[in-house]
Structure 1
Amino acid sequence: MQLLVNDDPTTLSYWLNWRVFVCALWVLTPMVVAAILIWKYELSDNLESEGGTTQQDNSRNLRYNESWKTCLKEIHPIFLMIFRIIAFCLLLVAVSFDVAIHGLELFYYYTQWTFTLVTIYFGLGSLLSIHGCFFRLRNSSSKCHLSEDTEQGLYVPLANGVNGNGVKLLERVDHPGKSRALLTSGFWDNLFQVLFQMTAGAVTLTDFVYWSVIFPFIALKDYEMNFLTVVTHSLNAILLLGDTALNSLHFPWFRISYFVMWTGIYVIFQWIVHASVQIWWPYPFLDLSAAHAPLWYLVVAAMHVPCYAMFLLLVKVKYLLLSRWFPHSYQC
């Protein structure tokens, strides 16, 4: 898909036209809205809680064990850990072979960005699952564990050593020496949660656009259709769906913002590269000199909503069915 540019993007005349302005509007406006949502739902509420002015609903804040526990009590977390380790190894091998065969120019493609993001997701998930299973076994053997109320308190922003319920942290923890490790792991748990939502949207967009928009219009005799091509446009979705079926991670709607920011950063990266060097466009619809470029940019931007909504609906249906079919085992 190495499409040669119609005009030289390194010249000033390429960028000074109405098509570039409209395309920039379709890219930058969603990124600004996404930044506002992140500030409103991620940052401002945390600052308010730290100031002690309000106590927000903490259902969207990832608790420590949500990153590694399963959705049902009968499914031991070690099975999720094994699945993530195997998935990480498969994805890492696929990325390594793809780069070895085609070179680093693969990272011009959004597909490779997404595939690498999924690999990072499973890598971090493997580490968190290993740590979570080890922590659980250590607690069960030593008969020392934190109460449910305490686990929630560890992730409520602290003000003068007091948690959101007004109880001092040191009075709630059986082993104060462990609190530092738990608080430190909270950053990685929340990062893992963000990666989950961002990866879900990016994988859905990548695979859907490839198999429904790009692939049907490709002349197979002129396109290198090989095993790695199929893997990079399907394995990520299969493994992510498997992880979603097992994990207990929630899926808040506002974190579509990270998905939008991810795509926006990729597009801006392409603009910077093409403004510096005259090279081929990885996707034909990214070429700003095309007559229908504004329409293509608008369509791709609009597709972020249904792609994220499809995965959100999938997670909601999963939790609804599990809560009805396994009410005593459901733990999400």
Structure 2
Amino acid sequence: MRGTGAELRREDEKMKMASVSLRQSHIPQLSENERKKWNLLFAVIFNPISPHFISNAAADNSESKRGEMQQERPRILHYDESWKPCLKDIHPVYLVVYRLTAFCLLLVALSFDVAAHGGELFLYYTQWAFTLVTIYFGFGLLLSINGCLQHHKANRSSDYLVSEEVEQGLYVPLARGVNETGVKSPNRLECPGEQHCSRTASLCGYLFQILFQMTAGAVSITDTLYWTLIFPFLHIKDYELNFLTVVAHSLNAILLLGDTAFNSLGFPWYRISFFVWLTSIYVIFQWIIHACVSIWWPYPILDLSFKYAPLWYLVVALMHIPCYAIFVLLVKIKHLVLSKWFPQSYQFCP
């Protein structure tokens, strides 16, 4: 009887295990390819619409204070904001010299980096950001040179008008900026509170401003992630930094911060959408490359076969907000400090 009872218990246990395995077999199990397809579907849906949601969330957050609502509204970009320093005492030629120096340094560093590592270097988002900064300073150099020429012509015509009016004995009211004949007085005779002329910027001026805001966000997210997350992990693995790696993750940020300190370009919250679109273009570029060619992923978190790929995509998308906020905060600090220290010379409106 004992043996029979033991056999019955074993049979019962086998039946229970069989029923459990049968139930588990009916539970749908996702294969690696199926999981990759679902991750791709999530990323395709989230990637194009993320700039809209992030920019709206940033704008809503910035508009929570009444004092900041006026600053975040779109304003007209004047033609001289792309090449005129934020202080009247600084001649525009100094910004030309700075942008020329920065462009040469970045171009030399980029050339050495590509010569050392080849074209595969452009698979990294960091190299995209570094190249964009180089293009920014090259484009800004051309605009600054053109602005200096216009500034020089305006000064020469202003000197001629002033000398002619003095000979004719005409009175020039400086407060209004217009003389009795209806001719506008030169910019350097305008009152300190007047910042810009009424001439709006051209298409190149708007493209340069967008490039500045997009590049600043890209540099911020690449350098911040590298020095706070990637570098400590590599340091644990006894990874040796070379000079070009340090330059790629520091020189662009340093030079861009210097230009930000002296230029007259605004940095509103709603322009974060261009920054997010840049990242979206990079991600789509990686998808196309890996769909056509079997190649390694420059960043493992982009691998769609990874189990938590959708979560990593969401985390990286949300990180755009604090990284963009870094430059927004720096521009606001510049406005507060320079307007307080140089109230008569400061001519920038964020």
- Is the TM value for this pair above 0.5? yes
CA distance in 1, matches of 2:323, 2:55: 19
- Partners of 2:83 and 2:144 within 8 A in 1: yes
Deviations 1:145-180 (A, max 9, x none): 97779x75543xxxxxxxxxxxxxxxxxxxxxxxxx
Deviation at 1:14, TM superposition (A): 6.4
In the alignment, residue 326 of structure 1 is paired with which amino acid? F
Q: Show the 5 A alignment for 1:256-295.
A: 256-295=272-311
| Cross-structure match for 2:156 | 141
CA distance in 2, matches of 1:294, 1:250: 34
- Partners of 1:286 and 1:293 within 8 A in 2: yes
In the alignment, residue 119 of structure 1 is paired with which amino acid? T
| Cross-structure match for 2:231 | 215
Identity of aligned residues (%): 60
CA distance in 2, matches of 1:193, 1:247: 11
Q: Show the 5 A alignment for 1:44-55.
A: none
| Cross-structure match for 2:42 | 22
Deviation at 1:216, TM superposition (A): 1.2
Over 3 Å counting, the alpha-carbon distance change for 1:86 and 1:322 in structure 2 is same
The answer to whether the aligner puts 1:64 opposite 2:84 as a matched pair is no
Q: Show the 5 A alignment for 1:304-315.
A: 304-315=320-331
Deviations 1:226-249 (A, max 9, x none): 101000000000000000111111
In the alignment, residue 277 of structure 2 is paired with which amino acid? M
Secondary structure at the residue paired with 2:305? coil
Q: Pick from 218, 232, 247 the counterpart of residue 202 of structure 1.
A: 218
Q: Show the 5 A alignment for 1:1-332.
A: 13=33, 17-33=37-53, 60-143=75-158, 153-155=198-200, 186-218=202-234, 223=239, 225-332=241-348
In the alignment, residue 29 of structure 1 is paired with which amino acid? I
In the alignment, residue 298 of structure 2 is paired with which amino acid? P
Q: Structure 1: which 5+ residue stretches go unaligned? A: 1-11, 38-56, 156-184
Instruction: Calculate the TM-score normalised by the size of structure 2.
Output: 0.72
CA distance in 1, matches of 2:347, 2:130: 30
How many residues end up aligned between the 2 structures?
A: 272
Instruction: Calculate the TM-score normalised by the size of structure 1.
Output: 0.76
In the alignment, residue 307 of structure 1 is paired with which amino acid? C
Q: Structure 2: which 5+ residue stretches go unaligned? A: 1-31, 58-71, 162-182, 188-193
Secondary structure at the residue paired with 1:331? coil
- Partners of 1:23 and 1:294 within 8 A in 2: yes
CA distance in 1, matches of 2:329, 2:300: 31
Secondary structure at the residue paired with 1:64? coil
Secondary structure at the residue paired with 1:290? coil
Secondary structure at the residue paired with 2:265? coil
In the alignment, residue 129 of structure 2 is paired with which amino acid? T
- Partners of 2:33 and 2:305 within 8 A in 1: no
